[in-house]
Chain A
């Protein structure tokens, strides 16, 4: 049975707020655009702390590793970045989406 209230233990934005209150440095990654068969809808979040712990997802697990690595850097510099992922062999990225879609992910520091 699904409760219409938010799941405090799984909701990325609630977790981000909890981490912030604990004094941890946090980055928020958001899917802002998708083309083709993207695994997670626009608006999906992945939250990352400075140690690389994360919650949520921006893909079906294909690019999370790369986003987490970028996020740790973004937490340090404070400069937001727009990342784009497509199929692995067509982009400069080491990782990609095996489903053949493309996604744009906006990664920013909280605060």
Chain B
């Protein structure tokens, strides 16, 4: 392995960016490909597929054997709102392998007693996001029902191109939210990315069932990352 490749791949991993270490198994030469880098030919197709699936593997391209070691940042789930749904969601997210954190400025809600095993921020999203910005490997679920708390986080999630953005609320509530986000400068296409009512439609009614629906929707979004945009660009 080229020492420079090792440094590069580690730098990408530390910065929570997706990258693949491509090793030519015939001569041992390697290089780092970042998500979005152009790679020509057959190998390029394999690289795209590997970024999407997140699965490492050996591929044959241009008559040579390559090993693609895919390094995707661990998906992060940020929940805005230390509410009953979040209490149910926290252990489920952990089991599914998603690092979950909760942001809620209402200190009566955001207590360690209510959330013993979660990274908890009893502060406004505006403040928390300064040190922990959203990125493309972050899912954001806004569940406070309070525009004062949710709206800033939703706009930030749209700007950071988070792979999942969900917001609790009826269709009526969401219609008002759309107006507010538009006033904040979010485009119609961006706003359309918000899942609201939040969660897969499985008829969930209890907080725990809603948590299942939300987590399932997050997983679906993560596993189909980039597919929607590609379909759009093909159609265009």
The answer, yes or no, to whether B127 is at the interface (CB within 8 Å) is: no
**Whole-angstrom distance between the alpha carbons of A108 and B28 in the complex?**
8
Q: Does A16 contact B (CB under 8 A)?
A: yes
Binds A, one of B66-74, B153-161, B173-181, B219-227: B66-74
Complex contact A33–B58 (CB within 8 A): yes
Contacting residues, chain B, for A56 (C-beta < 8 A): none
Q: Which of A1-9, A58-66, A87-95 contacts B (4 or more CB under 8 A)?
A: A1-9
**Interface footprint category on A:** 20 to 34
Q: Is the CB of A106 within 8 A of B10?
A: no
List of B residues within 8 angstroms of A109 by Cβ: 1
**Chain B residues within 8 Å of chain A by Cβ, number:** 28
Interface of B is mostly: mixed
**Structural contact, B13 and A6, CB atoms closer than 8 A:** yes
Check B185 for interface membership: any CB of A closer than 8 A. no
The answer to whether B25 and A2 touch across the interface, beta carbons within 8 angstroms, is: no
B16 contacts across to A, CB distance below 8 A: 4-5
Say whether A80 faces chain B, with CB atoms less than 8 Å apart.
yes
Contact indicator B14/A1 (Cβ below 8 Å): no
Residues on B with C-beta less than 8 A from A4 are 16, 73-74, 76, 99
Q: Could you say which residues of chain B place their CB within 8 Å of the CB of A5?
A: 14, 16
A20 touches B3 (CB 8 A): yes
CB distance from B112 to the nearest CB of A (A): 11
Mark A residues whose CB is within 8 Å of B. Answer: 1-6, 13-14, 16-17, 20, 28, 30, 32-33, 41-43, 80, 82, 106, 108-111
Residue pairs across A and B with Cβ atoms less than 8 A apart, 5 shown, are A4-B74, A17-B6, A43-B69, A108-B1, A111-B1
Beyond A30-B69, A32-B57, A108-B1, 18 extra complex contacts between A and B, CB < 8 Å: A1-B117, A2-B94, A2-B99, A3-B99, A4-B73, A4-B76, A4-B99, A6-B14, A28-B6, A32-B25, A33-B57, A42-B55, A43-B69, A80-B28, A106-B25, A106-B67, A108-B23, A111-B2
